[in-house]
Every structure is written in structure tokens, then in C-alpha cells.
Chains A and B, each alone.
Chain A
């Protein structure tokens, strides 16, 4: 497909769409699918057919619109009046109704009310803060398009950015645009994306000995990190399930910018639906000539393969991930050399998180200045969070950087259920920390989170109420790191075991003040001497709970040498 064909497809798709007065979107993300949403889609379709309304309305299976706690969700978008047109303002003349907790039995009622008043019993307002306080860039298509149809993505403006990059920009200009946008990695550390791209673009493929397998024609690689190891986070899963083509487009643009012809998406095997949708997307893109050789009639070639993880958290770490793609045990190695210079099979490799790459097409289309106008001075754009735990609205949210925690938890999240008190929010998973109530008005950006001893992480945000035992939370994460330590370096392998033992001892009421001291020493040692990020960050949950909830530790100590209130032990 070249640009003209792409535009033609988009136009005809939009025309076909405009012919129908009602568009019924049924969420078939993992959470809603688990609640039988595919049955609902079938029931709605059958009902339309029976009433002879199929010409007027269509049922579409879409990705996650975000509010998983009210699922299964069905959204009905109707044209209010006027002629079918293809220009954008058409959207303005549409009204939407969102139905919650839908069951297949509700299909008849929903269809019967298409032209009249919405079904009040099932309706949930679309003007609630959960929706109005969000800014959707990365998730703009999730819940709107059918992830298994490339035409849907194209109709929504998909692959235009890739065409623009290939036909109007040099690779260097693409790198510059990303650099100017201020985009930073969404995989945890927040490394400036443009800087990374520039390094890979400049890297010499012959600088290190390489052993690329037969059949792979590339001397540089692009990897999309879809391992999403943080337990309690599902941003990347929803993106891969809800808008897979966006990730492929982001990867292709990245590949063009750095000079790679082959890419890998590394997905954890726990996400079978994401794998399936990505496979479908790759096949469709290849058939449409948007992946493969001579993309869009240009000389640029790019192929993508999927690799499955096999249940190892450490494989989210970039060097371990590459070892896993090479078919080996996923153990990290010391850096430098960084993957940008010596990565997969010894070749310069760009590795980015799913959400990072999903930000790329809109930046190319709308420009770096537009992107840089959103967010804070050092953290640009939006961030997707998986809001879970003791909060009324659980689900997926996308908010501009710099929003406060209070807005997230109390406005968007709807506060704490059951009349309980807010105690803290955990970000960054096993590598992050717990943020107490005193910081609720802090802006959420990379620097602020780091200042209070947590990290942005990949976007897991777990809200805890006053029933949560913080020592238990620390013990939980330590157990996780202990299990997931790959065993290569001793501080992490042995240190996590020791720390877990002490935390268990505290929980059993058998510890003394001395144990807390040892725990703190171990935290310091493991943090500073481990080989990779897993060990270096494993103590974070302990350090942050000791910092803000020390009294909970003290209460469990059976000795009498309580530490002073300022947090220092005597």
C-alpha cells in the first residue's frame, strides 16, 4: 500500500462507517472477555438481525475503554441527525451512551432503545471524572476500533505517520523530532527516547563480533518490550490487545530512524490474547505492504517477529530479554556495552517499551511541539496507569504528566470504597515504593516520584487503605524478588533471601531492633552491589515502607528499644 491507497482505504472505510447510524462497541479485552463479553456481542448481533436493523447499526468488538470494574462494557454511538459525511466534525454530531455490567440477556433491551431513550438501568454517565479527567493519546483508539481489522486502524489515521516518516523525513529528522518532543521511556527508568534512538542510529554494526542467525537480514534490531513483569499492571497488555497496529507502526518508524530491518516483540506468555491479536496484526500489515520488503512503495524493509516469554520477571530487563530472544536462559549481563551498541547477537539494538513506541506515531503526525506542550517541564506527554487495589474505579487510565496523586485516586479513581481511609499508593511494582497520604498533592512525574523514594515504573498504581499491613506489603515484594532473582550475582541471590527471612521474622513477632538494623544494612548493600536493576531496586519497597511506616515495623518488634520518632534507631 502506498500513501494514495492508504488514503483511499481510509476514506472508503469512513464512508461505510458513516452509513450506519448506530455503532455498538463491545469491549473484548481480557477482563471483559472473562465476563463473557463475546456472548454479548453475539446476542446483540442476533438481535439486530432479527429486527432487520443490520443495515442501520453495527456491532464491533473493541479493545479496553478502561473502566474494567464496571465491565462488561458496551458503548453505543449514534448519529443524532444530518447527512452521512466523512469529515471529522461528524463525530461532533454523535452522542454516546455507555452501558455497564451488561449481560447477554440485555441485548434485546439495548437494541430496542437504540432510537429512543437509553436504557437507564444499565447506563453509566460518560461525563463522570473517570472519563473527563483523562487525556488520551496512547489509548485514543482503545475501545474505539476493532483490533483485529487493519482497516479500522487505517480509518482512524493509522500508518499515516509511517508514510510521512518514510516519504517526507530523513532518519535523522525522525530522531530529531522524537528528541525535541521530550519523550522518555515508559518502561520504568524514563531514559530520553530520542537520545537512545540517536545512539543506535550512529552505532557501527561491525564494532562488536556478531552472530546473527541465518535467515535474518539485518545488522541492527528494534525490540519492543512487552514483558510487563510488574504484577498488578496491565497497560501494555491493553495496548497490545486494543491497538496492536499502533505498536507495529511505532516500531517501523523506529526501525527507519535507526536503520534496522528486523524487529522483535517480546510478549509474556501469560497474555495469550495479546499474542493472538499481534500475530493477526503482523499478518495484515504484511499483506497490506506496510511491513515486509519495500514498505509503502519505498526502499525500506522491515520485518517483525513475536517471541514469547516463559514466566521470568527478570526477562523484562533489557540484556536478559535479549538473552531470552537468543534462546537462552534470561540472565542479565553487565553494561556497558549497552544494547544500543552491542545488543541482540552482538548488533546495535534499540529496545523500547510498548507504551513508548505507541507514543511515536502521534508525535510524528502532530509534531514534537504539540507533544511537548503536554505534561511538565521534564516529563512530557501522558502516562497510562493501571489503577487497582482499594479504589472504587479500577481500570486503565491515561493522564497528563504532572497531575496530582489526589486527582488520580479521588477524582478519577472515585476514592476509597467502604468508607475506609486512604493509606498509601504503591507505584513501580517490586522496584518501586509506597507513597503515603502526605504526598497526595504531589505532581506525578519522573522526578517527583523519585524524590519521595518511589519510581514511575511501568505504570502499576495500587491503592491501599488503612487495613493494609505495610510490613506485609514489603514482605510480599521481597518474596517476589527472591523468587524472581536469576541467581547470577550474589548480592541479589542471597540478599533477597536474607531480607525476606528478616521480614518474615518481623511478621511473626520474633524480631528485635537489631533485625531492623541488619535489614537496613542489607538494603543498602543489595541496592549498591547487584548486577542488574532487579537487585538494585529490590530493596525499594522495604526502604520506602521503613521511611514512611516505620511505626508499623516497630509495633511488631518484641524488644523494648523503640526507635525515636524521627525514624532513626537508637
Chain B
């Protein structure tokens, strides 16, 4: 953590230019969702993972501010919150691209050529697994099994499952969907 936040209730250091942490909690409605989750567990520590799930769903990733907010609300040391957030693969501390493509590298998909599919997408979008394209449009991730193994190899695009993909067609299927979304917008 490069920029730890001051304790709750005090202005954030150098002058009026920086918003108080409390302001963001009030102005950004998404914190209400996280709040509701923490309340459901009586603001007790065992609700930490659920709170992190809520936060990631609301913001797409977990930033320092949000993690500190959760730590304070649940009365947990920041080290514990960061420890948990970095332990689990599903939580990410980096902002994600506008769209997310997850390629399954589970056994069934692997046996059916998922590695080639991944390589094809990496080449087409000039991005490595785990990274985001330079234009921030696409994050490419990998997973271990969605349980759709009968359709192997499988990838998901923004949560939609696409089965029986081929290295040749995968990049195109992604491009089509991104295009469709752009046109709809």
C-alpha cells in the first residue's frame, strides 16, 4: 500500500483539493451495497469475504480505499483484509477492461486444446493472460473449470459462456460481441 488513508473522520491531508474519504462513501451509492452485506453479518469479521465479493461486484476490482473502508467497518486490521483479498484468485486489485474474457484451462478444456485457444486470443489482441489491452477494452483472464466441461473448450465473455470454441474462431467470436455491444451503445 503506497498511500494509506487517514483514520475515519479526518480530512485527507493536503488541502481542500482532496476529497474526504467520507465524501466518497456518501456520494458513491455503490458503497450502500457493501454496507448492506456487512450489516447482514452484524459487522463481524466472518462477513469479510462476502463483503469483498460485494465490493468487487460493485466496482469490478478492489482499490485501497475500499479495502480500508471494509477493514475499518469490520474492525479488522488492514493486514488481514489485504491478506484475504490477495489470497483468493477471484479478487483483483487492478482495474479491469471494459470487457472480460475468461478462458478455461481446466483439465477437460486443456485436453481439448484450450491452450491453443488462449494463444490465438493473446496473439489477436496483443495481450497476455492476466492483462488488459492497451485501449482498456478487453481483460483476458484464465480460470480452472466453469463446470461446463462437456462443451470444452470453453470461454466466457462478460459472463456469457461460449462452448466448443476453436483457436481460429475464438478471436472473431469475441470481436463480434464487442462490436455488437458498441453498436447497441
Q: Hey, which bits of chain A sit against chain B, CB under 8 A? A: 30-31, 33-35, 68-69, 71, 213-215, 228-234, 237-238, 269-272, 307-313, 324-330, 386, 388-390, 394-396, 426, 429, 460, 462, 464, 468, 473, 476-477, 480, 486
Please state if A233 and B50 are interface contacts (CB–CB under 8 Å): no
| Extra inter-chain contacts (17) besides given A233-B147, A389-B108, A480-B144, CB under 8 Å | A30-B161, A214-B42, A232-B106, A272-B159, A311-B88, A311-B90, A313-B144, A326-B45, A328-B48, A329-B84, A388-B111, A388-B150, A389-B112, A395-B150, A460-B107, A462-B108, A477-B107
Q: Is B172 an interface residue (CB 8 A)?
A: no
A-B contacts, 11 listed (Cβ < 8 Å) = A231-B145, A232-B145, A310-B90, A310-B91, A311-B143, A327-B47, A328-B48, A386-B149, A389-B107, A394-B152, A396-B150
Residues of A within 8 A of B146 (CB): 30, 270
Q: What are the 3 tightest A-B residue pairs by CB atom distance, in nearest-first order?
A: A231-B106, A68-B150, A310-B88
Please state if A30 and B148 are interface contacts (CB–CB under 8 Å): yes
Q: Is B46 an interface residue (CB 8 A)?
A: yes
Please state if B163 and A31 are interface contacts (CB–CB under 8 Å): yes
Q: A232-B108, A388-B152, A468-B111 are in contact. Are A312 and B144 (CB under 8 A)?
A: no
CA distance A391 to B45 in the complex (A): 47
Q: Is B53 an interface residue (CB 8 A)?
A: yes
**In whole Å, how far is B164's beta carbon from the nearest beta carbon of chain A?**
9
CA distance A429 to B145 in the complex (A): 12
8 Å CB contact of B87 from A35, A312, A388: A312
Please state if B44 and A213 are interface contacts (CB–CB under 8 Å): yes
CA distance A35 to B154 in the complex (A): 12
Please state if B147 and A327 are interface contacts (CB–CB under 8 Å): no
**In whole Å, how far is B185's beta carbon from the nearest beta carbon of chain A?**
23
**In whole Å, how far is B104's beta carbon from the nearest beta carbon of chain A?**
8
Please state if B42 and A215 are interface contacts (CB–CB under 8 Å): yes
CA distance A390 to B110 in the complex (A): 11
Q: Is B83 an interface residue (CB 8 A)?
A: yes
CA distance A307 to B161 in the complex (A): 23
CA distance A462 to B89 in the complex (A): 25
**CB nearest neighbor in A for B112:** A389
Please state if B147 and A30 are interface contacts (CB–CB under 8 Å): yes
Q: Which residues of B1-58 are within 8 A (CB) of A?
A: 41-42, 44-50, 52-53
Please state if A35 and B145 are interface contacts (CB–CB under 8 Å): no
Q: A214-B44, A215-B42 are in contact. Are A307 and B106 (CB under 8 A)?
A: no
Q: A313-B144, A476-B107 are in contact. Are A327 and B45 (CB under 8 A)?
A: yes
CA distance A460 to B106 in the complex (A): 11
CA distance A31 to B156 in the complex (A): 12
Residues of B within 8 A of A271 (CB): 147
CA distance A328 to B85 in the complex (A): 9
Residues of B within 8 A of A326 (CB): 45-46
**In whole Å, how far is B49's beta carbon from the nearest beta carbon of chain A?**
6
Residues of A within 8 A of B104 (CB): 231
Residues of A within 8 A of B144 (CB): 229, 231, 311, 313, 480
CA distance A408 to B65 in the complex (A): 54
**In whole Å, how far is A39's beta carbon from the nearest beta carbon of chain B?**
13
**CB nearest neighbor in B for A241:** B147
CA distance A271 to B112 in the complex (A): 22
8 Å CB contact of A388 from B41, B45, B149: B149
**In whole Å, how far is B11's beta carbon from the nearest beta carbon of chain A?**
31
Please state if A390 and B163 are interface contacts (CB–CB under 8 Å): no
Please state if B50 and A308 are interface contacts (CB–CB under 8 Å): yes
8 Å CB contact of B53 from A34, A213, A308: A308
Please state if B50 and A389 are interface contacts (CB–CB under 8 Å): no
Q: Is B162 an interface residue (CB 8 A)?
A: yes
Please state if B53 and A329 are interface contacts (CB–CB under 8 Å): no
Please state if B147 and A228 are interface contacts (CB–CB under 8 Å): yes
Please state if A31 and B148 are interface contacts (CB–CB under 8 Å): yes
